[in-house]
Structure formats: structure tokens, C-alpha cells
């Protein structure tokens, strides 16, 4: 009797272990990504860039991932975007795939810019090259539709970053008089307090206003605006100065200049000169 009880007990635990293992396997299967399609596009002229989107199904829901390129606000990256697709964008995906299947492998090359698609759908691979007619639903249009909310969030982050930069920048900044024109990668340092005992200054105000003094070498006599670009590195640009005569004819009073922002603190603005 005692041996029978031991055998039944061992049988019971053996079955429980098997069921637990089966359940675990099932849950992993449910969570697996089922590939729908993948798009890789090489596009560009002098510089060729890779663009990639993956779309897949998981537990009866559809998702899209923007693999490359990453998007930036300042030096901070968004990494890979993942979104769930609604019926509208599932339909857009189907329209894109149907159009891709109808296109020839080679389309006319109308410019020096290349467009080279590789679209993988299950076991099939489509290769499409050239300036094809995508009926207003090419890679970039599809990406904008699929990741519309992500692009809106990105623009808000860029806007908030620029607001913060402007808040720190507004005011009068002094610098040491230059003895020669700046060369590429030269640093240009300004301070809020007149550490240089100098009459040279840049003044930044609201609505991106700009005013320069001490214009003998680094001349911005006619410039009155600045701007930021915050995709990747943070670029700071003094806009060109324009002269308008009494007849309304405009000429360039002074050229623009572009820098990368190296530091912006309460009392120090450090720029690296790029070009003018």
C-alpha cells in the first residue's frame, strides 16, 4: 500500500511538471513576432543613407518599428520607435505593398539621387530601383503615416530644447576682440560678465533678435537674427545681414556664420566655428 502511494505521488508531480512546461512553451509562442514585411531603402546623392522599417503581427495586433535612422533632439537619441497600428495604417501598409508588387524592378533614373528598395514579404523579396511612381505612398510618406504621433512628440522635444536654449542665451555677451578671422574648429568664447574688459559684444533678445558690436573683423553689422538647429549636434547660426535700398533692391551686407554649441552656462557661451 505504501509503495502504491509513492508511485501515485510521483506520477502526480511528473504530470504537473509536464503541464507547467507546456504552458510556458505556449506563452512564448503567443508572444512571438510574426513578420509581415520589412522595407530597406538606400537613398541619397553624395551621401547614401539607409532607411528601414519592420512591420509584424503579435497576438492578433500589428506593430511597426522604425529601425534606422535614429532621430535626435540635440544630442539625445530617440532610438528605435515602436507603434501599434490601427486599421487606417494597416490599410496603408496593404496599399503600399500592393503598389510595390505592381512596380517594375527598374524605373527611370531622373536625377543623381538614387532610390534602391528591398522589400521582404514572407518568403518573397522585391527589389525596386529608380524614380518609380508610388502614387503618393512611397517609403517616406508611409513612415510619416505610421509614426505620426512619434514625429509630433519629437517636434515637441525639439521645441522645448530650443526654448531652454533661448532662455539661457538672452542677454548681452562679451568677447575678446579678434586679431584674425576664425578658422574652422576654432573656439569662440563669450561671457555675461565683461571678463575681457572689452567693448565687443553680442546681444540676444526675444523673437531671435541679434545685435553685434565690434565688427571690424567678425563683421555682423547688418545681421539681426539668429537660429538653432537641434538635429544631432546643436548648431547655432547668425543669419546674414541684408541691405535694402530706397528702390527695394536687396543686397548682402554681411554673410551668415554657423557654429556648433559646445557649452551654454549662466556665464559662459562656448561655440566652435564651422563656416561662413
Give residue-wise pLDDT tens across range 82-134: 999 999 999 999 999 999 999 999 999 888 889 999 999 988 999 999 999 99
The pTM assigned to this predicted structure is 0.78
Average per-residue pLDDT for the chain: 88
Report the range out of 20-29, 31-40, 252-261 with the highest average pLDDT: 252-261
pLDDT, position 158: 95
At residue 49's C-alpha, the angle toward residues 235 and 37, to 5°, is 125
Q: Which residue has the higher pLDDT, 181 or 18?
A: 181
pLDDT digits (tens, 9 = 90+) for 40-57: 999 998 889 999 999 999
Residue 85, number of CB atoms within 10 A of its CB: 19
How does residue 33 score in pLDDT terms, banded at 50, 70 and 90?
A: confident
Q: How confident is the model at residue 272 (pLDDT cuts 50, 70, 90)?
A: very high
User: How far apart (Å, rounded) are the C-alpha atoms in residues 194 and 118?
Assistant: 59
Say what percent of the chain tops pLDDT 70: 89
For residue 93, the Cα-to-chain-centroid distance in whole angstroms is: 22
pLDDT for 60 beyond 80: yes
- Please report the pLDDT score of residue 7 as a whole number: 39
Span 5-21, average pLDDT: 39
Q: How confident is the model at residue 176 (pLDDT cuts 50, 70, 90)?
A: very high
Average of per-residue pLDDT across 152-163: 96
Amino acid at each position: 500500500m505504501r509503495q502504491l502511494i509513492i508511485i501515485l505521488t510521483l506520477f502526480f508531480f511528473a504530470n504537473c511538471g509536464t503541464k507547467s512546461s507546456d504552458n510556458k512553451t505556449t506563452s512564448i509562442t503567443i508572444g512571438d513576432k510574426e513578420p509581415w514585411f520589412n522595407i530597406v531603402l538606400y537613398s541619397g546623392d553624395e551621401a547614401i543613407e539607409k532607411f528601414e522599417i519592420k512591420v509584424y503581427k503579435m497576438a492578433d495586433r500589428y506593430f511597426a518599428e522604425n529601425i534606422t535612422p535614429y532621430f535626435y533632439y540635440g544630442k539625445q537619441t530617440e532610438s528605435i520607435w515602436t507603434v501599434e497600428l490601427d486599421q487606417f495604417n494597416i490599410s496603408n501598409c496593404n496599399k503600399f505593398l500592393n503598389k510595390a508588387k505592381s512596380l517594375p524592378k527598374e524605373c527611370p533614373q531622373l536625377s543623381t539621387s538614387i532610390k534602391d528598395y528591398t522589400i521582404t514579404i514572407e518568403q518573397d523579396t522585391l527589389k525596386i530601383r529608380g524614380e518609380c511612381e508610388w502614387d503618393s505612398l512611397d517609403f517616406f510618406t508611409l513612415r510619416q503615416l505610421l509614426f505620426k504621433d512619434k514625429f509630433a512628440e519629437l517636434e515637441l522635444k525639439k521645441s522645448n530644447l530650443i526654448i531652454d536654449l533661448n532662455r539661457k542665451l538672452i542677454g548681452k555677451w562679451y568677447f575678446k576682440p579678434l586679431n584674425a578671422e576664425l578658422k574652422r574648429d576654432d573656439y569662440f568664447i563669450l561671457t555675461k560678465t565683461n571678463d575681457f574688459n572689452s567693448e565687443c559684444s553680442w546681444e540676444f533678445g526675444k523673437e531671435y533678435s541679434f545685435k553685434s558690436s565690434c565688427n571690424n573683423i567678425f563683421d555682423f553689422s547688418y545681421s539681426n537674427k539668429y537660429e538653432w538647429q537641434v538635429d544631432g549636434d546643436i548648431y547655432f547660426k547668425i543669419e546674414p545681414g541684408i541691405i535694402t535700398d530706397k528702390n527695394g533692391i536687396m543686397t548682402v551686407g554681411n554673410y551668415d556664420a554657423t557654429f556648433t554649441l559646445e557649452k551654454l552656462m549662466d556665464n559662459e557661451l562656448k561655440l566652435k566655428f564651422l563656416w561662413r
